[in-house]
Copies of this chain bind each other. A is one copy, B any other.
């Protein structure tokens, strides 16, 4: 095989037709010239060759559409567009005619098949396609095929060109736009893919009409108020900080058509300065996805999200390369590109490969950041605090955003906690095994709705065993949380704080997370978690912590469920939790210690009389064994109105796997105590085992950062400027 490549590569390309959509004449010439000297580019081309050759060896198959996602015809048409885009690129880079011929022959077969097709036989989508069961896949096909056509159209006879354009590409683009205006104009990732597909085809065919549709949408009676088309989509779906409202798992997917179409616009309408649009929102979005990861590059699993998805995905390879090409000062991106191990084969990838070959990469830094949500950045936010920016930092995320559309979870003010790469307090993510036929064909499982989206499935407060917004997406989408303060400027105390006043009627919730890095206590950062509730009526509150690992110890005297298990409740997710024990907590500091990956973690809570700690495990009422059977503890406070849940979470010690030596069995926190909690102020004291202590004070009624505060707590006076302060004692 290697020998064949060598021969093939030695042929200089003999075509004088250069592409223009994503690849350009300039890029093609440079790649041809430099590819053997740039290891990452060379490797990426070799990889692409292997993939394309495997497909070419199978011969061309353009089957009549029949199967749903995961079925043969679905997969075949998907592999066909990937193979065509790859072969088109290889034709440009290597000049080997067999690549171009492969694309030509396959397109001619599609041109025969396409006019015969009606709606796809699998009727499962609100927007059925022709080749695929849904128009989303239909659009993706054209995003790839428009590039393939762009690469190889120079070899076509006028007849072939005519056939492919009039029998396939133009009607295909019409189907996606004027024949399905509602999907096309939809401000939603399906609409973005469609606009990109039609617009990129417009550039490939130099068809102004198509480009115009992509930019402005199509007529569909009275337009939606926000307008339609790509520029509107660029305005509506990302916040000014580049956060995509569905969360990073979907952001990764949604970003690809944006980036590709933007690159096509940049190449063909440079005067539009598309990458500068909305203060460079596409660049911000790309950088946001990179930051919305744990330090192994996996996306925080906000909302419906699969946890294995990471910045290794193709979409992020595009994002990293394109953003670097836009701004070559971002040398941190190069180390992500190195980890990705590939570049896209176009000018952006070339620039990255050059810089890496030139040893310009610097380590990627994960930062403490807040990303606003909503088109104007006014629909809440997500916050990330990191104890430092190295690989062994602790990270806490908090979600105080909008609902995130249909894939949103009812989890306002939920947190997750990582120690280095490891999830310690988990966000469950989605209940789904994508593409695993055994599990409902790879679709979202029933438990995604009954469990994963429900409030009790998250590390946030549940009131009277019911989900936020009664588990109703429409209701939840009508409001959002309110950021209170985010300040990561002080290494010793980083704070994020937000309020949620609509998730439960008549109830105001306010959560503050402080990440404390105190010189007075050795060891890792300490998370301070203050969850405040205001309510005139009395309720039962549940605050779960989905710890991962093995329970080691608790100061709570509990009754385990030993000989039989019952579900904790009947609905809103409670039906999926086994009650594995419970215990009455004493007023004062209670502790729960667990072990994960050879480290210890301690939750210390400021409890009140009659508080309970419930022990639970996921897995009840799960007839198909779809759920992961992970544990939780749930703090329970009954008949409570206004109240405060105050807790610290610490990572400490190490259990050596081989020497079996154990260090740091105990955390530093000895006590946590509420000093004041009312509508105006929350003040808590944390006592450490070395007999020092700190007092954390938060103003609840004014988040003016220059306001002066003075109050008495426990007979001591506390004075500070700003929303919060940490006092050392």
Contacts and interface: CB of A to CB of B under 8 A. Distances in A.
B662 A595 contact: no
Interface in A407-453: 433-439, 442
A552 B436 contact: yes
Interface class of chain A by DSSP: loop
A158 interface: no
B433 A308 contact: no
Nearest to A311: B658
- The complex is assembled from copies of this chain, and their number is 2
B655 A435 contact: yes
Contacts of A437: 662, 665
A665 B312 CA distance: 23
Nearest to A593: B438
B662 A621 contact: no
A647 to B, nearest CB: 19
Interface string A613-637: 0010101111111001101000000
A563 B435 contact: no
B567 A566 contact: no
Given A308-B657, A658-B312, A564 B563 contact: no
Interface string A526-564: 000000000000000000000000111100000010111
Contact of A313 (B314, B629, B658): B658
A624 B623 CA distance: 27
Contacts of A550: 625, 628
A660 interface: yes
A595 B562 contact: no
A435 B566 contact: no
Nearest to A663: B435
Given A306-B660, A435-B660, A595-B433, A565 B562 contact: no
A631 B628 CA distance: 11
A289 interface: no
A598 interface: yes
Contacts of A565: 564-565, 578
Interface in A28-66: none
A309 interface: yes
Contacts of A615: 625
B308 A598 contact: yes
Contacts of A460: none
A489 interface: no
A280 B625 CA distance: 52
Contacts of A662: 70, 434-437, 442
A659 interface: yes
Nearest to A78: B661
A657 B313 CA distance: 9
A177 interface: no
A310 interface: yes
Contacts of A628: 550
Interface string A646-669: 000000000101111110010000
Given A552-B436, A563-B566, A565-B565, A629 B658 contact: no
A657 B309 contact: yes
Contact of A436 (B580, B617, B619, B655): B655
A623 B435 contact: no
Contact of A658 (B308, B560, B598): B308
A314 B598 CA distance: 19
Contacts of A435: 655, 660-662
Given A565-B565, A595-B436, A662-B442, A625 B657 contact: no
B309 A623 contact: no
A625 B567 contact: no
A657 B305 CA distance: 12
Given A657-B309, A665-B438, A564 B567 contact: yes
A433 B552 contact: yes
Interface in A361-400: none
Contact of A625 (B70, B434, B560, B563): B560
A551 to B, nearest CB: 4
Given A436-B662, A550-B628, A567 B560 contact: no
A628 B551 CA distance: 10
Given A563-B621, A580-B625, A617-B619, 16 more contacts: A308-B658, A309-B657, A313-B659, A434-B662, A435-B661, A436-B552, A436-B595, A437-B665, A438-B593, A560-B623, A560-B625, A562-B621, A562-B623, A563-B566, A563-B567, A564-B567
List of 8 A-B pairs having minimum Cβ-Cβ separation, nearest first:
A308-B657, A438-B553, A565-B565, A551-B625, A435-B662, A560-B623, A434-B660, A438-B552
19 contacts: A309-B657, A310-B657, A312-B657, A313-B658, A314-B659, A435-B655, A435-B660, A437-B662, A439-B552, A550-B625, A560-B622, A560-B625, A562-B623, A563-B567, A563-B620, A563-B621, A564-B564, A565-B578, A615-B625
